[in-house]
Structure 1
Amino acid sequence: MPTPLTPRVMGRLRLASQGLLAGGFPGIADAVRWMTAMQAQDLGMAFWAVGQRVPGVAASDVRAALDAGTVVRSWPMRGTLHLLAPEDLRWILGITSGRLATMVAGRHRELGITADDISHCRDIAYKTVEVLKRGEGAAGATREQLFQAFEEAGQVTKSQRGIHLLGSLCREAWLVQGPMAASGGKAGVQQLFVPFDDWIPKSRDLGRDEGIAELLFRYFRGHGPATIKDFGWWSQVPLTEARAALASVRDRLVELQFRGASYWLSPEAAAMLDDGVPGSRSLLALPGFDEYLLGYQDRSLVLAPKCAERVVPGNNGVFKRIIVSGGEVVGTWARSGSAKAFSVVPEPFAGALGPAAERSFQAQGRAYVQFMAS
């Protein structure tokens, strides 16, 4: 008998689609490629988002993937940083860059940024990277080095003008964030900026219609069950184009009707409804900004609206770390202690976690501490 649909069942289907149940993914690049784009403005949280989906890896392994270029980090959509497979970045930017340019146009006018300024900064960036490569053997330039070069060439970087210039260069696929920058002889928390074609010599070539269809299919495969409005918010693709794309790939997806809306997911995930969706007793300590919660316009399936303020206080756009039990967000969690010696503390929405849930959370906490320390 098919499993009846409830919000928790829909949540567990999402956990399964995102590789958060059972065995996860075999490798870091596999996880990122499956997810297509993973929120990554907080790099440490992005590392843990990957770690929750790839058993046995450590934060240093994700850092190594960035250093090797098997995973890249850029601004492909919504003006925020994401992890992507390198071959996907250019064609996704081809779909989203126009919308992104429109989103920042007003701010660029305030900052006095013109198309000529962006082209000028591209030339400065290329020259700066080449000088550093020849003189120091550096793979790229830090943000501070580029800002200094911009200032010396008359391009003001204060009042966020510098970061908008860098974002524009990445949006135009002239620069991309490459290997991690060293700081005091140790691995730092920033990445070097490198010329796009040097770091990503091979990219897939998809036209707009084909690319939107690919992006939509992969979103539903890696995030489903989700609605067309969820996809439109996540990708910023206009709904008219999104609906046209859905018509071209709907035979590769399964539609579920739930509470008067159409949700789409992969046939593999939908098949779980026949035998019982796993994960009813699962408990996960997911990072802030994780795709499990942030990757949808409507988050009420997995997070009770009355508790939304507990996850995003003041609706300020900063997502706290979340505890997910059986497909439902039941609390947040925090780090306690110093950067070198820390533990994790649960902050459940309703009283305390039960004994079994507390044991599961503590196991998740130990896994997180070990992951970040390795």
Structure 2
Amino acid sequence: MADTPLALSRIVAHGLTRPGGTVREVVQAQLAMQGQDLPGVIASIALRTGGAVQDVLDAFDRGEIVRAYPMRGTVFAMAAEDALWVGELCNAAQVRAQIKRRAALGLSDGSFDIGRLILERVAFEGVPRAELFAEWQNAGIETSGGRGYHMLSHFVQIGVASYGSWNGSDNNVHLAEEWLPEGSGLEGRFNGDRVAAATELLGRYFASHGPASIRDAAWWTKLPLKLLREAAEGLGDSIERVETDGETLYQRAGLADEIAEEGKIAREPRLIPGFDELMLGYPDRSYMAGEEHLDKLAPGNNGVFKPTAIAGGAVQGTWKRAGRPGKRSFVLAPWRAVSDTRMRGFERAFAAFPFASE
């Protein structure tokens, strides 16, 4: 069964009940928003600002937000000033694993040396990914079979590049030294203090994702529990501890009052993208979906998560947009009986949904 009180608490914590703030403020508060589904993360941001898709695209163009690979080998949308230090804190094991895969992909260390030189030449003012891959291919570096993505993600993970400005359908690739704020690495932000950096990370994760545990944060970041437990000692008054069922959960101070005020709004029908942090920001998603329905979130366990329709603090089913531009329609695949009232609520949410394309 879904855990309705926990679900309602997290809906409020994620800023979905009373959206507001600038794009940069919302993304910075979340720290990192899973972004491999680009239209999905654009919608996730807009749902939390209450603004338009264009506001998100403009924030990319101004360099206020970027997409990077800060942890878990996964691309996330982040405030530009957070991309480097979070990556330096969390990425060491992933970078080592990537380097070990080079031989299996037929890529040599020399390929990466040449690839970096080309990247530094063509991405000075931003370059579409396809053009960068073409430059690599012309230089004799094979980019098919995921090799181009493997190389580019490595350069993003080590802080050489980032996804930045909008080119009409995707983020351009930029050089980090030109696009990301100077001094925003671990040394510049925290004097190289990993515990202080982990404390900042924990504070923002718990404020935006709580109630959550240190183990939740460890799964999200892949940082060692020992480091996170030490970091948790430095959390200030803005984060409070709640004991429940023998486990310590952390949440932003005052969240209980927010829930009391916004609990009714949290129960209202809403639609979220498939890769939204409300579902993917935790190792256990049964709190929202129920154990018996988890296989419906990502059928075949293929890593592709379906958009969900939520009401009453639980997922009621998955949804999609059908039809052609100008003739779009809402299609719900319910997991349980959905009342007419809730269906009308979902249809209103669909009509207001911040789609990134027609």
Describe the shift of the 1:115–1:221 C-alpha distance in structure 2 as closer, same or farther (beyond 3 A): farther
Describe the shift of the 1:227–1:114 C-alpha distance in structure 2 as closer, same or farther (beyond 3 A): farther
Query: 1:62 aligns to what?
Result: 56
Q: Verify the 8 A CA contact 1:286 1:321 in the aligned structure 2.
A: yes
Q: In structure 2, what is the Cα distance between the partners aligned to 1:276 and 1:222?
A: 16
Deviation at 1:273, TM superposition (A): 6.1
Describe the shift of the 1:287–1:141 C-alpha distance in structure 2 as closer, same or farther (beyond 3 A): same
Q: Verify the 8 A CA contact 1:73 1:83 in the aligned structure 2.
A: yes
Task: Give, as a single letter, the amino acid of the residue that structure 1 aligns with 2:41.
Answer: A
Query: 1:169 aligns to what?
Result: 155
Query: 2:10 aligns to what?
Result: 14
Q: In structure 2, what is the Cα distance between the partners aligned to 1:347 and 1:285?
A: 13
Deviation at 1:18, TM superposition (A): 0.7
Query: 1:38 aligns to what?
Result: 33
Query: How many residues in Structure 1 have an aligned counterpart in Structure 2?
Result: 351
Q: Verify the 8 A CA contact 1:90 1:203 in the aligned structure 2.
A: no
Higher mean Cα deviation, 199-208 or 302-311? 199-208
TM-score (normalised: structure 1):
0.88
TM-score (normalised: structure 2):
0.91
Higher mean Cα deviation, 207-216 or 151-160? 151-160
Query: 1:195 aligns to what?
Result: 175
* 1:248 equivalent in alignment to 2:246: no
* 1:363 equivalent in alignment to 2:348: yes
Q: In structure 1, what is the Cα distance between the partners aligned to 2:102 and 2:68?
A: 19
- State the secondary structure of the residue aligned to 1:248: coil
Q: In structure 2, what is the Cα distance between the partners aligned to 1:129 and 1:267?
A: 43
1:224-239 equivalences under 5 Å are 224-239=210-225
Q: In structure 2, what is the Cα distance between the partners aligned to 1:359 and 1:283?
A: 9
Query: 1:104 aligns to what?
Result: 98
Q: In structure 2, what is the Cα distance between the partners aligned to 1:345 and 1:78?
A: 32
Query: 1:221 aligns to what?
Result: 207
Q: Verify the 8 A CA contact 1:17 1:223 in the aligned structure 2.
A: yes
Q: Verify the 8 A CA contact 1:58 1:372 in the aligned structure 2.
A: no
Q: Which runs of 5+ in 2 are unaligned?
A: none
Task: Give, as a single letter, the amino acid of the residue that structure 2 aligns with 1:15.
Answer: I
Task: Give, as a single letter, the amino acid of the residue that structure 1 aligns with 2:4.
Answer: R
RMSD: 2.1
Q: Verify the 8 A CA contact 1:63 1:180 in the aligned structure 2.
A: yes
Query: 1:150 aligns to what?
Result: 136
* 1:83 equivalent in alignment to 2:77: yes
Identity %: 30
1:239-278 equivalences under 5 Å are 239-249=225-235, 252-272=238-258, 277-278=263-264
Q: Verify the 8 A CA contact 2:8 2:267 in the aligned structure 1.
A: no
Q: Residues 306-348 of structure 1: CA distance to partner in whole angstroms, max 9, x if unpaired? A: 1011111111111100111132222111111024531221222
Query: 1:293 aligns to what?
Result: 279
Match of 1:51 among 46, 49, 52: 46
Task: Give, as a single letter, the amino acid of the residue that structure 1 aligns with 2:91.
Answer: S
- State the secondary structure of the residue aligned to 2:111: helix
Task: Give, as a single letter, the amino acid of the residue that structure 1 aligns with 2:76.
Answer: H
Q: In structure 2, what is the Cα distance between the partners aligned to 1:372 and 1:286?
A: 13
